[in-house]
Structure 1
Amino acid sequence: MGTPSDFEFLVRGDEIVIRHQGRTATVLRGARAAEFLAQAEQGDPQQLMARVTGNYRRGNERVARQHPRNAR
């Protein structure tokens, strides 16, 4: 699986805007925004933003659905 990319975040006052490929994916406010900033400083911000936005499951879902183990 590849690493996530094309994410960026902007701090606007007390909120954090997370964008993916130039489009707003989500906005974090309050405690969730503070937690995001703390985690972004410690780890990989691209991976974190993919997790927060729910945009980390891309690529192999269609192929996995066709696998004999998953066929019903």
Structure 2
Amino acid sequence: MPRPQGFTYEERRDGSVVLTHQGRAAGVLRGARAAKFLAEVAAGDAQLVMARWTGAYRFGNERQARNHPRNLGGRTGRR
């Protein structure tokens, strides 16, 4: 399974946390959620935590399943 990469976060003065993925905004956390996120980042793999919190994390088998003929929605001409 490939390791997530390209995520960064920035703590703001107002206590919020801005998450970015490859330079694009992926989410903003405020209040208790921001504190919980920062605790998880400090305790574990930061890239994995950020991928999970943004919802941008996909398992390898989900990527493969997207291209399976059964999941192409009739684009192959067969049903």
- Bucket of the pairwise TM-score, normalised by the shorter protein: 0.7 to 0.9
- Partner SS, residue 37 of structure 2: helix
Q: Deviations over 1:21-64 (max 9, x none)?
A: 00110000000000001110000010000000000116653531
Match of 2:20 in 1: 19
- Give the TM-score normalised by structure 2: 0.76
Match of 1:6 in 2: 6
Match of 2:37 in 1: 36
The offset of 1:11, in angstroms, is 0.3
Matched, 1:47 2:17: no
The offset of 1:67, in angstroms, is 6.5
Give the counterpart letter for 1:28 in structure 2.
L
Query: Where do 5+ consecutive residues of structure 2 fail to align?
Result: 72-78
Based on CA coordinates, which of the two structures has the bigger radius of gyration? Answer: 2
Q: Choose between structure 1 and 2: higher strand proportion.
A: 1
- Give the TM-score normalised by structure 1: 0.83
Give the counterpart letter for 1:15 in structure 2.
S
